[in-house]
Amino acid sequence: MVADHRFEYVVLGSGIAGLTFALKVAETGPVAVITKKNRAESNTNYAQGGIACVTSTEDTFDLHVRDTLEAGAGLCREDVVRGIVEEGPARIKELIDLGMSFSERANSSTRELDLGKEGGHSKRRILHAKDITGREIEGALLTALALHPNVEMFENHAAIDLITRRKLGFTTDNRCVGVYVLDIKTGRVETFASRHVLLATGGCGKVYLYTTNPDIATGDGVAMAYRAGVPVANMEFIQFHPTCLFHPKAKSFLISEAVRGEGGVLRNGAGHAFMNGVHPLKSLAPRDIVARAIDAEIKRTGAECVYLDITHRSRDFLQNRFPAIFAKCLEFGIDMSVEPIPVVPGAHYQCGGVVTSPEGRTELPGLWAVGEVGCTGLHGANRLASNSLLEALVVAHRAALAVKNEPPVPRLKSLPPWESGSAQDADEMVVIYHNWREIRQLMWDYVGIVRTTKRLKRAASRLRSLTAEVQDYYWNYKMTCDLIELRNLVLVASLIVDSALSRHESRGLHFTLDFPETDTSAPPSDSILRPG
């Protein structure tokens, strides 16, 4: 059958990684940008703190490299770190030329960027647009893209699975040749043929019950790549952000680390600044350390949350520097200028992902992965704050250059249509929701900030039976976005657990009571999972 759509480039995802890549390749051929909800809905859109980049004369590339390596706990690839850090200023300049405007310093006679500070950074180096950096970046990229005649946007379209020559029965020259995509509004599965498919589907925060991520973050890219035979790495390193707003009605709202960068102090219910004895950087220590200390404090005191206190700064300052956070807190009756903000940790960022080269190339020809979905070696065992937007910008640029220099490959004349079940039973559909909830709860309970082998094994066993149940639905029931996401969630959860079980040490974001020390007897190694 002739494919429903044929494009030179198919981009899955419309966050910073997908949009940057699409803009850069559009002059060389037609591009489809496929995105699950509306075009702006992405983790990118909610980024608050900003982009880490050396722009100040008081800062150096060496210091940014050193901070990144230190946070990454021995697992970063130093060449990758240096390359990305040093390329940052050029990519930031392009973003500014596109129309992105970063906050500037008040009271400065010359135009100077206002640089924020976050955990683990030894210098002020975070470029930001107040506390809505992501929304501004997303807006600038979408505006630029809307003007491009070669780009077609498919909103409310969810990619289901990659199409490879191997899956079509060819025994030679395996490569990715397209993707099956659900049109969520019509319920029809469409075939997109393409020489180059870019995974830019972001992370997997929704695998956990409590997360800073929006609903789109269900690990679809990692799951699709793994099913297509591509290895993934370091999935045990899930970063928990220390400070999500704690309020029964506040769904996934982050209180930026930049609040601590401006002097915010973490306190327990009795007012004690409990980070003081934990790390020299106190409340601004790297995230893994702060999240663990909060977890320990909550367990020790039996309280539901801890508090972030920035009441020593003026109301004017707070309203101007953090307008969105200030307004959101007020919506819930919290005036952050006079009372501390209740906070808890939540799953925030996937440091591992689809294994790629520093230009986003995967092991499968024709398949690229950029942004949170990919694992270049920048983050190691723990991402330094505000390095992810930087990585996505730099690697998307490199992927766009690399893809343009690829030798031409012949197209397949036809692709088989999608086949799936047609059953629709309202009772059974409720079970999908229950399974979804069970996965997220068990990941939170057994595969959280502090782990043990026993709990990980319990999670692995439960996930095995959930996998079997989900497979059953998958083949028999009509395809829906919920079902696509559930199938991906259960696979990604299993990858996280398997990676965690394979690491017999504590390192960075992976902390287990059974192996509380970092193994120094051998060089640190990635945990790579290869599909069987």
Of 57-65, 384-392, 414-422, 498-506, the window that binds ligand SIN (rule: CB under 6 A) is 384-392
CB of 131 to ligand SIN, least distance (A): 7
Q: Should residue 403 be labelled a site residue for ligand SIN when binding is judged by CB under 6 A? A: no
Q: Should residue 42 be labelled a site residue for ligand SIN when binding is judged by CB under 6 A? A: no
Q: Should residue 214 be labelled a site residue for ligand SIN when binding is judged by CB under 6 A? A: no
CA pair distance 266, 274, nearest whole angstrom: 7
Closer CB to ligand SIN, 26 or 254, in the complex: 254
The residue ranges that bind ligand FAD (CB under 6 A) are 12-18, 34-37, 41-44, 46-51, 133-134, 158-159, 200-202, 212-213, 216, 220, 254, 349, 371-373, 386-389, 392
CA distances from 203 to 18, 49, 92, 367 (A): 13, 18, 23, 17
CB of 71 to ligand SIN, least distance (A): 11
Selecting among 135, 287, 292, 507, the annotated active-site residue is 287
Closer CB to ligand FAD, 384 or 456, in the complex: 384
Closer CB to ligand SIN, 130 or 361, in the complex: 130
Closer CB to ligand SIN, 182 or 258, in the complex: 258
CB of 116 to ligand SIN, least distance (A): 9
Q: At what angle do helices 453-476 and 481-502 cross, to 10 degrees?
A: 150
Using DSSP's 3-state secondary structure scheme, residue 265 falls into strand
> In the 8-state DSSP scheme, what is residue 343?
E
* Cα 403 → chain centroid: 23
Structure tokens at 256: 């930026």
| Helix H or strand E encompassing 432 | helix 426-446
CB of 44 to ligand SIN, least distance (A): 11
Closer CB to ligand FAD, 126 or 459, in the complex: 126
Q: What are phi and psi of 20, to 5 degrees?
A: -65, -45
Closer CB to ligand SIN, 65 or 284, in the complex: 284
Using DSSP's 3-state secondary structure scheme, residue 428 falls into helix
CA distances from 295 to 384, 406, 443 (A): 20, 48, 16
Residue 310 interacts with, from ligand FAD, ligand SIN, none (CB under 5-8 Å by kind): none
Instruction: Using CB under 6 A, pick the residue from 386, 494, 506, 527 that binds ligand SIN.
Output: 386
CA pair distance 56, 425, nearest whole angstrom: 60
Whose tokens are 């392009």? That residue is 94
CB of 377 to ligand FAD, least distance (A): 16
Q: Should residue 257 be labelled a site residue for ligand SIN when binding is judged by CB under 6 A? A: yes
CB of 384 to ligand FAD, least distance (A): 9
Residue 20 interacts with, from ligand FAD, ligand SIN, none (CB under 5-8 Å by kind): none
Where on the phi/psi map is residue 338: left (φ > 0), alpha (ψ -120 to 50), or beta? Answer: alpha
Residue 346 interacts with, from ligand SIN, ligand FAD, none (CB under 5-8 Å by kind): none
Identify which of 219, 214, 181 has the alpha carbon closest to the alpha carbon of residue 33: 181
CB of 250 to ligand FAD, least distance (A): 12
Instruction: Using CB under 6 A, pick the residue from 385, 439, 470, 493 that binds ligand SIN.
Output: 385
Is 507 among the residues known to form the active site? no
Q: Should residue 49 be labelled a site residue for ligand SIN when binding is judged by CB under 6 A? A: yes
194 Cβ neighbours under 8 A, 6+ residues apart? 6, 7, 8, 9, 10, 32, 177, 178, 179, 366
Instruction: Using CB under 6 A, pick the residue from 35, 42, 45, 48 that binds ligand SIN.
Output: 48
21 Cβ neighbours under 8 A, 6+ residues apart? 9, 11, 198, 200, 368, 370, 396, 399, 400
Where on the phi/psi map is residue 95: left (φ > 0), alpha (ψ -120 to 50), or beta? Answer: alpha
512 Cβ neighbours under 8 A, 6+ residues apart? 450, 451, 452, 453, 456, 500, 503, 506
CA pair distance 502, 495, nearest whole angstrom: 11
Residue 257 interacts with, from ligand SIN, ligand FAD, none (CB under 5-8 Å by kind): ligand SIN
* Cα 320 → chain centroid: 28
Residue 37 interacts with, from ligand FAD, ligand SIN, none (CB under 5-8 Å by kind): ligand FAD
Instruction: Using CB under 6 A, pick the residue from 218, 252, 256, 527 that binds ligand SIN.
Output: 256
Residue 347 interacts with, from ligand FAD, ligand SIN, none (CB under 5-8 Å by kind): none
Residue 42 interacts with, from ligand FAD, ligand SIN, none (CB under 5-8 Å by kind): ligand FAD
Burial 500-520 (b: 16+ CB within 10 A, else e): bbebebbbbbbbbeebeeeee
Q: Enumerate the active-site residues.
A: 287
Chain contacts with ligand SIN (rule: CB under 6 A): 48-49, 256-258, 385-386, 388
